[in-house]
Amino acid sequence: MAKTLSFANLKGGTGKTTLCYNIAALFVDMGYRSLLIDLDAQAHATTHAGFEPIKIKKGVFEAISEYLKKQSVDSQVILRQQGLSILPSNSKTVLLEEELASLTNKESVLKDFLMELDRDFDFIFIDTPPSLGLTVLNALVASDYLLIPVRFDFFSLVGLAQMINFYYKVNTTLSPYLKLLGLIPISISARARVCNDVLNELRTTFGEKLLFPTLRNDIKVVEASSHGLPVHRYAPKSRASEDLTKISQEILRRLT
C-alpha cells in the first residue's frame, strides 16, 4: 500500500508546490514509485514538471469525474517525467469543488479514488490549493500524513494557525489516522531578522521534533522550474538541492 502525503497551507506562496514536486522527484531517484497529484487549479506542480496545463485534455478533474461514473481510473491520464508519475491539473480543476459538493460522500471521494491506484505506487504526494475547501478536505482525508510548509513571514504564521486548526478538526471528526508529520520552514533571506524570529516562534510553539531542515532561498529553484526539472537534477550542487535532499531523507526517516 502506498503512503499518501499532502502538502497544505491556507496561505499561497509558501513554497508548497516547490516542496511537493521536488520531494516527489527525489523519492523517484531514491528508488521509490512515486505519484504526484496536482489538485490546484493554478497547475503550478504540473508546470514545474514541464507540462503545459492548457494542452492537457484530461487532468485530475476529468479522472475523478470518470471514476465517479465508471468506478475505474483511466491509466492514460497519468503522465510521466523521468520516472515520476503525475496526475496533472488543467483549467477544469477549478470545477472540482462544485463536483464534490454535490455528492453524499463528498469528504472521501479522493480517498476512494486513490484506492484504485494504491498498489501501483510506494508514495503518493498531493499538492493542494491554498484554501480550506472540499478539495483540501478530500486531500487530508485521503492522506496518511500532512506536511505544512511555513515561509518566514508574519502572514505565514497566521495561515499556519488556521491550517493547524483545520487539521485538528479533520483528525478528530473524519480521519483519526491522519498524522501531522511536521513543518517545513522556507527561508526568504539568511540575513532577515524576521526569519530568525519566525523560526524561534516555531521552535517555542511546536518543538524541534516537528520541524524539518530549512529550505534556504536559492535562485536555482526558479531556474529549475522554468526548465521543467527538479532542482537536484538541474543544479545538483546548489544549496536548494542540498536542503531538499535533507528534507526528503528526514521524511523517509520519520516514515520508517
pLDDT tens-digit map of 25-66: 999 999 999 999 999 999 999 999 999 999 999 999 999 999
Q: Who's near 126: CB < 8 A, 6+ residues apart?
A: 4, 5, 6, 7, 20, 37, 39, 139, 142, 143
Q: What is the pLDDT of residue 186?
A: 86
Q: What is the pLDDT of residue 207?
A: 67
Q: What is the pLDDT of residue 193?
A: 65
With bands split at pLDDT 50, 70 and 90, how would you rate the model's confidence at 195? low
For residue 82, what is its C-alpha cell?
523521468
Residue 129 has pLDDT above 60, yes or no: yes
Mean of per-residue pLDDT scores for the chain:
90
- The rounded distance, in Å, linking the Cα atoms of 68 and 199 is 43
- The rounded distance, in Å, linking the Cα atoms of 139 and 36 is 12
CB atoms within 10 A of CB 236: 12
Average pLDDT over residues 90-97: 94
For the chain, give the secondary structure using H, E and C. CCEEEEECCCCCCCCHHHHHHHHHHHHHHCCCCEEEEECCCCCHHHHHCCCCHHHCCCCHHHHHHHHHHHCCCCHHHCEEECCEEEECCCHHHHHHHHHHHCCCCCCCHHHHHHHCCHHHCCEEEEECCCCCCHHHHHHHHHCCEEEEEEECCHHHHHHHHHHHHHHHHHHHHCCCCCEEEEEEEECCCCCCHHHHHHHHHHHHHHCHHHECCCECCCHHHHHHHHCCCCHHHHCCCCHHHHHHHHHHHHHHHHHC
With bands split at pLDDT 50, 70 and 90, how would you rate the model's confidence at 121? very high
With bands split at pLDDT 50, 70 and 90, how would you rate the model's confidence at 190? low
> What is the reported pTM?
0.94
pLDDT in tens, 210-223: 889 989 888 999 99
With bands split at pLDDT 50, 70 and 90, how would you rate the model's confidence at 256? confident
Q: What is the pLDDT of residue 191?
A: 56
- The rounded distance, in Å, linking the Cα atoms of 228 and 201 is 35
CB atoms within 10 A of CB 222: 11
Q: What is the pLDDT of residue 92?
A: 94
Q: Provide the terminal-to-terminal Cα distance of the chain, rounded to the nearest Å.
A: 14
Q: What is the pLDDT of residue 192?
A: 58
Which domains, from first to last, does the chain contain?
A: 3-255 (3.40.50.300)
Answer whether 96's CB lies under 8 Å from 62's CB: no
- The rounded distance, in Å, linking the Cα atoms of 184 and 149 is 5
Average pLDDT over residues 72-99: 93
Q: What is the pLDDT of residue 7?
A: 96
Residue 153 has pLDDT above 80, yes or no: no
Q: Which amino acid is at 109?
A: V
Residue 154 has pLDDT above 90, yes or no: no
Q: What phi and psi values does residue 7 have, to the nearest 5 degrees?
A: -105, 115
Average pLDDT over residues 204-210: 73
Average pLDDT over residues 130-159: 89
- The rounded distance, in Å, linking the Cα atoms of 13 and 68 is 32
Percent of the chain with pLDDT over 70: 94
